[in-house]
Amino acid sequence: MSSDTYIKRPNRPLQLYAVIFLIALYAPVLFLPLFSFNDSLYVRFPLKEFTFKWYVELFQREPVWNALMNSVRIGVVVAVLSTAMGIFAAKAITRYRIPGRGTLVGFIMLPLVVPLIIFGVALLVLLSQLGVPLSLYTVAIGHMIICLPFSVATLIPRFEGFDRAIEEASADLGENAWWTFWRVTFPMVFPGVVASLMLTFTVSFDEFIMAFFLSGTQPTLPMYIWGQLRFPQEFPSILALASMIIAMSFVLVFLGQWINRGAQPGAVKGHDT
């Protein structure tokens, strides 16, 4: 990887821009962990003593654990289902001649740009019309809508990134479509599947608006945080909780990206002579 070709040579202003961009993006977020270790009820400088007590307090609270388990359960179910649907959608989009393919992809990606409050309200109206009681299940349905585009967007490059002749070779060697999928296609897209699972879990875990509209009596973790903001004495613990959520989200998303790092089309190894 020599970096002195025309396209790849270092570009100082661009590097500076990237650094400033990242600072602007993440500096506010970094205040959360900073104050979560501060031995004071109030979020203000100067900092006091270093302490773990807010974290300790957090772990002693029953409702935090309940909310956490709710979010994890929804996250796992949503991640598995939306990734499974994403696999079929991505395979269909990349492998078959579908009329109106662009439009179809557009509709799948729509939840990324339509305000979630609209989806939330629409689903709420629909569910109440149908007489479905609000629960963790309804939250999961809402999250599926949000997560599917993330899953499809993660998986499509994986499907496009390998040569169709590999699937034909499998058929040629005697395997039908089912076995070809499990012996060739799935292993080839597997890094994308892992990335999609991690990404969709994180999206669901962090999601607030859909949960706000669609949850019943059982809160998810973001809902719990929202509820606790009314109580000033709880605030440092909430900072501690938020810090942990951020850390976990970072880890999951970056791990997913790292596992899926070869996904650019043409980056599949074994084809260059």
Q: Which residues bind other proteins (CB under 8 A)?
A: 162-163, 165-166, 168-176, 179, 183-184, 187-188, 268-271, 273
Work out how close the CB of 209 gets to other proteins at its nearest, in angstroms, rounded to a whole number. 40
Work out how close the CB of 173 gets to other proteins at its nearest, in angstroms, rounded to a whole number. 4
Angle at which helix 62-95 crosses helix 221-228, to 10 degrees, equals 140
* Rounded-to-10 torsion of CA 40, 42, 47, 48: -20
Q: What is the DSSP letter of 133?
A: P
The tokens for 106 are 């557009």
Contact criterion met (CB below 8 Å) for 193 and 155: yes
Q: How far is CA 66 from CA 63, 101, 260, in A?
A: 5, 43, 32
Nearer to other proteins, 141 or 166 (CB): 166
Nearer to other proteins, 175 or 206 (CB): 175
Nearer to other proteins, 2 or 273 (CB): 273
| Among the listed residues 196, 169, 198, 174, the one whose alpha carbon sits nearest the alpha carbon of residue 184 | 169
Work out how close the CB of 182 gets to other proteins at its nearest, in angstroms, rounded to a whole number. 11
Nearer to other proteins, 85 or 194 (CB): 194
Contacts of 239 (CB under 8 A, 6+ apart): 32, 33, 35, 36, 43, 54
Phi/psi-derived region of residue 174, left when phi > 0, alpha when psi is between -120 and 50, beta in every other case:
left
Work out how close the CB of 178 gets to other proteins at its nearest, in angstroms, rounded to a whole number. 11
Work out how close the CB of 27 gets to other proteins at its nearest, in angstroms, rounded to a whole number. 42
Which residue, chain included where needed, has tokens 């109440």?
Answer: 128
Nearer to other proteins, 3 or 273 (CB): 273
Nearer to other proteins, 63 or 265 (CB): 265
Work out how close the CB of 152 gets to other proteins at its nearest, in angstroms, rounded to a whole number. 22
